[in-house]
Amino acid sequence: MRRSVLAQLLLDAAELGIRLYEWQRRWLDDESLFRALLKSRGVGGSFIIALEALTESLLRQESLILLISYSQRQSLELFRKVKWLLEMLGRATLTWGGETYRSIRLASESKTQIELSSGSRIISLPNNPDAIRGFRADHVYVDEAGMFRNDFEIKSAIVPSIVGRTGRLSLVSTPKGRRGWFYEAWSGGVFSRHTAHYAEAAHISSAELQGLRATLTELEWRQEMEHEFLDEANAVFPYETILQCLYDEADRPPTNPTYMGVDVGRLRDSTVVTLLERLDDGTLRVFHIQELRGLDFQSQESIILELAKTHNPISIAIDKTGIGLPLYESLSRKALGVEGVTFTHNFKEALIATLQSMIRGRRIAIPADSRELINQLRTFQRVETGTGGIRYEAPRGQHDDYVMSLALAVGAALKRLTTGTAVKRVWNWP
């Protein structure tokens, strides 16, 4: 029985009303040992991984299937899809060839692992090469493979894990630049290649596509939806250097000195607030990012003041250029440590150079799930002007509010603001 036939039978038995798309059938029926799926966002890549993992576990008793994700949070999200499908199927019966089969039975379950009565196991793991090396798997799925900060270490751990079991390996991802394991797999001749474009996913409505088109920048749209591996010729922060700064751990409140950067939104951008914690080794850990979209200055001020009350930042660096001046003046009367910054060409260049140095030196820790910050860092460019000068900016039509908010927070932490003075705490919030 073809995998796509069994997978559709499972969906029908669960009465989910889901019909497999053609790209999903092609993917499921591909028997290649190595497969790569290049996809648009929202087409159902994680869903097809979860469905195929369950299908595989039924076709082969006592099989071991590993689901590998780039972060702990993403790993849990993917595993929730598996458990949701199991829950739906647990109430169903399957009829095939005149025979009625029992519903899928669960032998054991944890937050990251299930075992079926057939002895098959499905285990979901985050980005941890050491944890992967202890397994011998029949099938390994790597979800959003382009997002891994240490993808070649993951590759070295995964490939031996499928040796000796005629194991299979599947990489699923949107493109993330002309670098890394996923790009290598897609460009080489070893992996069987599949695509899943948003035009092949009828569940994405035209209204949703219009909303995405309006929200994403041109480069983000080309990358996230149109399957483009973008060049990084003018990138200030190459993707490889960003990935080495990513960290994946459970959310935890800061216990060390904190600093805040506020980039005030103009016509195109939102106001963005970034909070850093200075760790014992001097690393600056990003622990909170908040975009204040569509809010008036009074509402923005209330949120910023509440964050200041909660986290007691030593310094709050706020952009007071142009329309940011009223927000700065009001905040400076109500909170301590507020430093206003006017963005001149030279100051912005110095601030970006500092941020670039910190990222290259791995002295900034960025949450692995900070997709918008990561995307804006990737597209931020160094552009030569017609007069021989240099500009640091987002590409035309793009945004850099997350980048500048982070740069301001870093400047506050390193005392690299225009005043050049250190801010001393003389009072804490009650």
Q: Residue 427: its pLDDT value, please?
A: 40
Q: Is residue 165 domain-shared with residue 108, that is, in the same domain? A: yes
Last residue within a domain, chosen from 224, 249, 265: 224
With bands split at pLDDT 50, 70 and 90, how would you rate the model's confidence at 423? very low
Residue 91 lies in a domain: yes
Q: Is residue 215 domain-shared with residue 245, that is, in the same domain? A: no
With bands split at pLDDT 50, 70 and 90, how would you rate the model's confidence at 251? confident
Would you call 223 helix, strand, or coil by DSSP? helix
Residue 99 lies in a domain: yes
CA–CA dist 9, 255 (Å, integer): 52
Q: How many CB atoms lie within 10 A of CB 224?
A: 22
Residue 421 lies in a domain: no
With bands split at pLDDT 50, 70 and 90, how would you rate the model's confidence at 235? confident
Q: Is residue 296 domain-shared with residue 183, that is, in the same domain? A: no
Q: Is residue 197 domain-shared with residue 323, that is, in the same domain? A: no
Dump pLDDT digits (tens) for 15-57.
899 999 999 999 999 999 999 999 999 999 999 999 999 999 8
Q: What is the DSSP string of 26-49?
A: HHHH---SEEEEEE-TTSSHHHHH
Q: Is residue 202 domain-shared with residue 265, that is, in the same domain? A: no
Q: Is residue 252 domain-shared with residue 366, that is, in the same domain? A: yes
Q: Span 376-393, mean pLDDT?
A: 75
Residue 163 lies in a domain: yes
Q: Is residue 206 domain-shared with residue 342, that is, in the same domain? A: no
Q: Residue 59: its pLDDT value, please?
A: 84
Amino acid in position 102:
R
Q: Is residue 104 domain-shared with residue 157, that is, in the same domain? A: yes
The structural domain count of the chain equals: 2
Residue 324 lies in a domain: yes
CA–CA dist 43, 225 (Å, integer): 9
* Residue 226 C-beta-side C-alpha neighbours within 13 Å: 12
The larger pLDDT score, comparing residue 95 to residue 306, is at: 306
How many helices (DSSP H) and strands (DSSP E) are in the chain?
Answer: 15, 19
Amino acid in position 171:
L
Q: Is residue 258 domain-shared with residue 310, that is, in the same domain? A: yes
Residue 234 lies in a domain: no
Dump pLDDT digits (tens) for 52-78.
999 998 888 899 999 999 888 899 999
Q: Span 172-200, mean pLDDT?
A: 93
Residue 119 lies in a domain: yes
The larger pLDDT score, comparing residue 312 to residue 88, is at: 312
Lowest mean pLDDT among 138-147, 248-257, 367-376: 248-257
CA–CA dist 413, 278 (Å, integer): 8
Any idea what the Cα angle at residue 45 is, between residues 237 and 227, rounded to 5°? Answer: 45
CA–CA dist 24, 406 (Å, integer): 40
With bands split at pLDDT 50, 70 and 90, how would you rate the model's confidence at 117? confident
Q: Is residue 167 domain-shared with residue 37, that is, in the same domain? A: yes
Q: Evaluate if pTM is beyond 0.85.
A: no
| Residue that the structure tokens 């569940």 belong to | 203
Residue 420 lies in a domain: no
What sign does the dihedral 338-344-349-350 (CA atoms) show? negative
CA–CA dist 126, 150 (Å, integer): 12
Q: Domain with 61 in it: what CATH number?
A: 3.40.50.300
The larger pLDDT score, comparing residue 29 to residue 9, is at: 29
Q: Domain with 252 in it: what CATH number?
A: 3.30.420.240
Domain carrying residue 105: 3-224
CA proximity to 80, closest of 33, 47, 45: 47
Q: Is residue 351 domain-shared with residue 216, that is, in the same domain? A: no
Dump pLDDT digits (tens) for 330-357.
999 999 999 999 888 888 888 999 999 9
Q: Is residue 177 domain-shared with residue 307, that is, in the same domain? A: no
